[in-house]
Amino acid sequence: TTTVVKQAILKIAKDGTEKIFIGRPYTFTITVTNVGDTDATNVRVVDSIPQGAKCVSLTEGGVIQGDTIVWNVEKLQPKAIINLKASFISNNAGMAVNRVAASAACSPQVEASAKTDVIGIPAILLEVVDIEDPLAVGGVETYVITATNQGSAPATNVKIICSLEDSQEYVSGDGASAVTAKNGTIECAPYPSLQPGAKATWNVRVKALKAGDVRFKTVMTSDQLSRPVEETEATTQY
């Protein structure tokens, strides 16, 4: 007498978005296949929610339980396939790792994982304000230059360069990095790393040499900017 033993054998795979910006949804797809020769019953799929992420959508009746998502499938026939999807949003940069395990009655547990690189992006606002306007000839004007990172990733090597017209003369400067001047060009040494939400401020003082409608030009660059940011402040000298 020959006894034929049939068994359900699960196979699992997972894939997802490779890279995504902070605050945008990303999706992991779980594929479970019964490669055995009999029905897989009481199939249970448990998916981990990536640390710091929020689940925003599920398919096929998935239920959030604590820091996991659970799918229960009553029966999966031989060669049958189920596709399950879970979408998340992360508000912090880093690697979002998603692990999943599937099991069934009389079938060993199988596991898979996938990861998404959640990245931020810097967004620098440049502001230039003159403190005294209008300004009498012979007086000293202070220009306050502020770089604010409104983005979600650090901005590196933030550099400020200012240009003076011949109606103004450099007096002094200070701020987030060293300030130097030569031949009407003022340079603020690169600020190494401007974190999200942080500000860097410089004060540049110049003397009014003659009357006129003056323009104080400021240019900002950083490692992440593909082109310079320019800001021009008008000052009336009389």
Q: Can you name the residues that pair with 175 across neighbouring β-strands? A: 202
Q: Is residue 229 pLDDT above 80, yes or no?
A: yes
Q: Residue 105 contacts by C-beta under 8 Å, 6 or more apart in sequence?
A: 8, 40, 41, 42
Of the pLDDT bands very low, low, confident and very high (cuts 50, 70, 90), residue 235 is: very high
| Distance, CA of 150 to CA of 35 (rounded, Å) | 51
Give CA–CA dist 114/111, Å, rounded. 11
Q: What is the pLDDT of residues 98-156, one digit of tens each?
A: 999 999 998 999 999 999 999 999 999 999 999 999 999 999 999 999 999 999 999 99
pLDDT at 64: 97
> What length is written for the chain?
238
**For the residues 213-238, what does the mean pLDDT come to?**
97
- Domains in the chain: ranges and CATH: 10-119 (2.60.40.1530), 124-237 (2.60.40.1510)
Q: pLDDT tens-digit profile of 1-35? A: 676 678 999 999 999 999 999 999 999 999 999 99
pLDDT given at position 6: 85
Q: Does residue 210 have a pLDDT over 80?
A: yes
Least Cα distance to 148 among 74, 222, 215, 95 occurs for 222
**Strands, E, within the chain: which ranges?**
10-16, 19-21, 26-34, 40-48, 53-58, 63-65, 68-76, 81-90, 94-104, 107-119, 124-130, 140-149, 155-163, 168-175, 179-182, 185-194, 199-208, 212-221, 229-237
Contact between 113 and 100 (Cβ < 8 Å): yes
Q: For position 17, what pLDDT does the model report?
A: 92
Instruction: Give CA–CA dist 139/169, Å, rounded.
Output: 11
Contacts of 179 (CB under 8 A, 6+ apart): 172, 173, 186, 187, 188, 189, 202, 204
CA distance 45 to 85: 12
pLDDT in tens, 42-57: 999 999 999 999 999 9
pLDDT category at 230 given cuts 50, 70, 90 is very high
Segment 155-163 shows an average pLDDT of 98
